[in-house]
Amino acid sequence: MNNNLVAGLDVGSRSIELVVLEGGQLVDWARLPTTFDPLAQCQRLLKNLKARKLVATGYGRKLMQEKVTDREVITVTEIQAYALGAGQVCPEARTVLDIGGQDTKVIALDAEGRVTKFEMNDRCAAGTGKFLEFMAAALQIPLEEFGAFARQGDRRIQISSMCTVFAESEATSLMARGESAANIALGLHLAMVQRTAAMIRRVGGRVPLLFAGGVAHNPCVRALLEESLGHGLFVPPEPDLVGAWGAALYGRKKC
Amino acid sequence: MPTPYDEMWEKLNLDLEAHEGLLTVLGKFYGDIYLSQEGRLQGTEYLDFVLSEVHGLRIKELQDAKAAGRKVIGAFCVFVPEELVLAADAVCVGLCAGAEVGSEAAEQVLPRNTCALIKSFVGFKLARLCPFIESCDLVVGETTCDGKKKAYEIFADYAPVYVMEIPQMKNACDRDLWKAEMLRFKAKIEEVTGQAITAVKLKEAIKLVNARRRMLRRLNRLRAAVPVPISGRDVLLVNQISFYDDPVRFTKKIDELCDELEAKVISGQGVAPLDAPRLMLSGCPMAVPNWKVPYIIESSGAVVVGEESCIGARNTRDLVDEGAETLDAMLDALVDRYMKIDCACFTPNAERLDHIVAMARDLQVAGVIHYGLSFCQPYAIESFKVGKALEAAKIPMLAIETDYSMEDVGQLKTRVEAFLEMVR
């Protein structure tokens, strides 16, 4: 075990990210899918980890605190972790948007990077990564290509329902009317972006805006969001690492 | 397991098996949320006892009262003037509707997207699980929201329902309407009980209910001390119990609890660490056994020091003027007192915003958690204005919308914890 290392672990609904810091510098990171057994996946990630201190965030943070006994584990919420992570990857950011597997959150930050307000979707997965995943599967497009596929759409159709179940039936009736799959995909992205933009405006929507979380990889969501908000977004090179990074930074602060 | 109350419950036509299940779940829930607390006051034994006998001894008392010729009147809302019920020598009980019970049955007669409270009271009745409803000679509803208003029409098929019309504005003509409704209610109560409401009796009832309100105000003053001497959960429970225990006994018991609390405050003993964030709850009422959000808050390291809610400050803030001597003057005093209620069913409702900000300042809270039941439009829409008023006062607010189910506890905990990280 190494006392100079601090690790952050973001146990999300779809993927788990590990970030290791030494003196504030990123020295290692790894990622695994969450699967149906998040504990086993976390244990795989922690197997050769030398850090004595681990900060867990994400929906599985309490599980880590209960089950990991070979080192000190503290927890921090995703909100705080993303705020701290944002301070690292984009210190000027005044708004952080994170769209993950099962939740979407928007965090307003002050000039010192402190959280002043936040919004999260409620229990339903409307407008989250899960929504895109579900719809990509319905249109038989691999999730990673879904955004690029949607960008091929040439007509903007309105999909009014954000409920995953209702949106699927809306998509089905559009298919039955002969609408192209790319246009339906584009419509689904538009619906999600409209909802997200409204959430961003509710917390004030100050710029610069950092877009983090897995959905930040999706080029269609990024482009439509920029269009809807009327300004650019800052997307870090590894947007899904921001939470784990922030968690590790929290551990440094608490040392 | 057989209990001494089985025969009584059977007579009340409860579903005995399901009822036993309900009591078991409730007992466990109560143990987890209440009995697990450390440093609780001696006086909370009264709360434990009342809760453990909520469907037992208290119902027995109601049956005994009925056998002695008294009537039992149930109500769902702080608008129902309890003073008139007591002045007619009847027993007034607040019907709780705070548990997810009988929702399947309720959804056969109500839309699914109906608020949890409405579903609960209909569910309790249809599933035959509430001995209070079964003991009532009259259930008094009111037109505070469209959901309740229309649900009472359906409820009337199963229970003796009477509905009071609540004004929605506070102009002179609204006061006239409320006065007329007060008189209509008085006549109804006189008819049901066969007793005339006299000035002497009403004066006594006004004093009795005021005494209980004063006691709850005393409790609210004491609980706000630094360090906080009693958990928010326990104070919520006291408020909840105030709706269905005998008012004289309740006031006496809470007086004792307050004496104990006072000693604790003087000696500077707290139930939470000094640095535990002080929070205030605001919004929809939390009826027994709806302890979900206070428990999430307090198990996350904060402490609740005030409830801006019907089961809380709204019910105790205003007293009825005790100076009136004639029956008519007393009725006017009642009308004036009840017109001060700042329920979200009123438009506009600026008083509520002022009350929330003043209360948050008085209590020196780190933040406010606005609690709304899903599909409760009046509170959901008003939470936007509450947020603005608090923002102007530089008091952070977190708005939560939920129901009685437990499936979103993890998500709520994340939000509450993040809010605490933010206000610390």
What are the tens digits of pLDDT across the range B32-58? 999 999 889 999 999 999 999 999 999
Instruction: Parse chain A into domains and list their residue ranges.
Output: 2-80+242-254, 92-235
> How confident is the model at residue A1, as a pLDDT?
83
Rounded to a whole number of angstroms, the CA Rg of chain A reads 19
Residues of A in contact with B422 (CB under 8 A): 79-80, 114-116, 118
| CA atoms of B236 and B231, how far apart (whole Å) | 9
* Burial of residue A139, with CB atoms counted within 10 A of its CB: 0-12 exposed, 13-18 middle, 19 or more buried: middle
pLDDT-based confidence at residue B321 (cuts at 50, 70, 90)? very high
Q: For the structural domain made of A92-235, what CATH number should be given?
A: 3.30.420.40
For residue range A116-139, what is the model confidence (pLDDT) as tens digits? Answer: 999 998 767 778 898 899 899 999
Percent of chain A predicted with pLDDT > 90: 78
Residues of B in contact with A123 (CB under 8 A): 407-408, 411
Among A78, A115, A116, whose Cβ lies nearest the Cβ of B414? A78
Q: Is the dihedral of CA A61, A65, A66, A71 positive or negative?
A: positive
Beta strands in B76-147 (DSSP E): 91-94, 138-142
| CA atoms of B283 and A71, how far apart (whole Å) | 42
For residue range B198-249, what is the model confidence (pLDDT) as tens digits? Answer: 999 999 999 999 999 999 999 999 999 999 999 999 999 999 999 999 999 9
Question: Nearest C-alpha of chain A: how many angstroms from B389?
Answer: 15
Percent of chain B predicted with pLDDT > 90: 97
> How confident is the model at residue A88, as a pLDDT?
93
Q: For the structural domain made of B6-47+57-197, what CATH number should be given?
A: 3.40.50.11890
| CA atoms of A95 and A113, how far apart (whole Å) | 10
pLDDT at A255 over 60: no
pLDDT at A187 over 90: yes
| Burial B295-321, CB ≥16 within 10 A → b, else e | bbbbebebbbbbbbbbbbbbbbbbbbe
For residue range B342-369, what is the model confidence (pLDDT) as tens digits? Answer: 999 999 999 999 999 999 999 999 999 9
Give the residue on B whose Cα is nearest the Cα of A110. B422
pLDDT at B290 over 70: yes
- In sequence order, which residues have a C-beta less than 8 Å from that of residue A35 and are 6 or more positions away? A41
Interface list for chain B against chain A, based on CB atoms closer than 8 Å: 396, 401-402, 407-408, 410-411, 414-415, 417-418, 421-422
| CA atoms of B25 and B360, how far apart (whole Å) | 35
Question: Nearest C-alpha of chain B: how many angstroms from A178?
Answer: 34
CB contact under 8 A, A116 and B401: no
HEC per residue, chain A: CEEEEEEEEEECCCEEEEEEEECCEEEEEEEEECCCCHHHHHHHHHCCCCEEEEEEECCCHHHHHHHCCCCEEEECCHHHHHHHHHHHHCCCCCEEEEECCCCEEEEEECCCCCEEEEEECCCCCCCCHHHHHHHHHHCCCCHHHHHHHHCCCCCCCCCCCCCHHHHHHHHHHHHHCCCCHHHHHHHHHHHHHHHHHHHHHHCCCCCCEEEECHHHHCHHHHHHHHHHHCCCCECCCCHHHHHHHHHHHHHHHCC
| Residue B90 · residue B72 · CB < 8 Å | yes
| Residue A51 · residue A98 · CB < 8 Å | no
| CA atoms of B242 and B263, how far apart (whole Å) | 23
For residue range B52-74, what is the model confidence (pLDDT) as tens digits? Answer: 999 999 999 999 999 999 999 99
| CA atoms of B280 and B362, how far apart (whole Å) | 11
CA A47 vs CA A1, A30, A64, A236, A247: distances in Å: 12, 12, 14, 28, 19
DSSP secondary structure letter of residue B167: P
Identify the residue with better confidence: B107 or A122. Answer: B107
Give the residue on B whose Cα is nearest the Cα of A109. B422
> How confident is the model at residue A123, as a pLDDT?
67
| Residue B98 · residue B30 · CB < 8 Å | no
Identify the residue with better confidence: A122 or B10. Answer: B10
Query: Would you say the ipTM is above 0.85?
Result: yes
Q: How high does pLDDT run on average in chain B? A: 96
For residue range A80-93, what is the model confidence (pLDDT) as tens digits? Answer: 999 999 999 999 99
Residues listed for chain A: 255
Residues of A in contact with B411 (CB under 8 A): 103, 120, 122-123
Residue A14 CB neighbours (<10 A) = 18
CB contact under 8 A, B422 and A116: yes
Q: What does B192-212 look like in DSSP terms, one character per residue?
A: HH-----HHHHHHHHHHHHHH
CB contact under 8 A, B401 and A122: yes
pLDDT-based confidence at residue B412 (cuts at 50, 70, 90)? very high
Q: What is the pTM of this model?
A: 0.93
Residues of B in contact with A117 (CB under 8 A): 396
Question: Nearest C-alpha of chain B: how many angstroms from A108?
Answer: 11
Percent of chain B predicted with pLDDT > 70: 100
pLDDT at A200 over 60: yes
For residue range B369-400, what is the model confidence (pLDDT) as tens digits? Answer: 999 999 999 999 999 999 999 999 999 999 99
| CA atoms of B110 and B76, how far apart (whole Å) | 18
Instruction: Parse chain B into domains and list their residue ranges.
Output: 6-47+57-197
Q: Token match 């005393």: residue? A: B218
Strand pairing class (B91-94; B138-142): unpaired
For residue range B233-242, what is the model confidence (pLDDT) as tens digits? Answer: 999 999 999 9
Assigned token pair, A3? 């006392």
| Residue B180 · residue B334 · CB < 8 Å | no
Strand, coil or helix: what is B61? helix
A-B Cβ pairs (cutoff 8 Å, strict)? 37
Q: Which residues pair with A56 in a beta bridge?
A: A9, A75
Residues B266-273 have a mean pLDDT of: 94
Assigned token pair, B94? 């607040």
Q: For the structural domain made of A2-80+242-254, what CATH number should be given?
A: 3.30.420.40
pLDDT at B144 over 80: yes
Q: Is the dihedral of CA B5, B11, B17, B21 positive or negative?
A: negative
> How confident is the model at residue B323, as a pLDDT?
96
CB contact under 8 A, A77 and B421: yes
Among A77, A114, A115, whose Cβ lies nearest the Cβ of B414? A77
Number of continuous H segments (helices) and E segments (strands) in chain B: 19, 8
Pick from B374, B400, B417, B424 the residue to mutate for testing the A interface (most A CBs within 10 Å): B417
| CA atoms of A210 and A173, how far apart (whole Å) | 36
pLDDT at A162 over 80: no
**Considering only CA atoms, which of B100, B107, B108, B168 is closest in space to residue B407?**
B100
Residues B126-139 have a mean pLDDT of: 96
Instruction: Please state at what angle helix B232-241 crosses helix B44-52, rounded to 10 degrees.
Output: 50
Same fold, A2-80+242-254 and A92-235: yes
CB contact under 8 A, A122 and B414: no
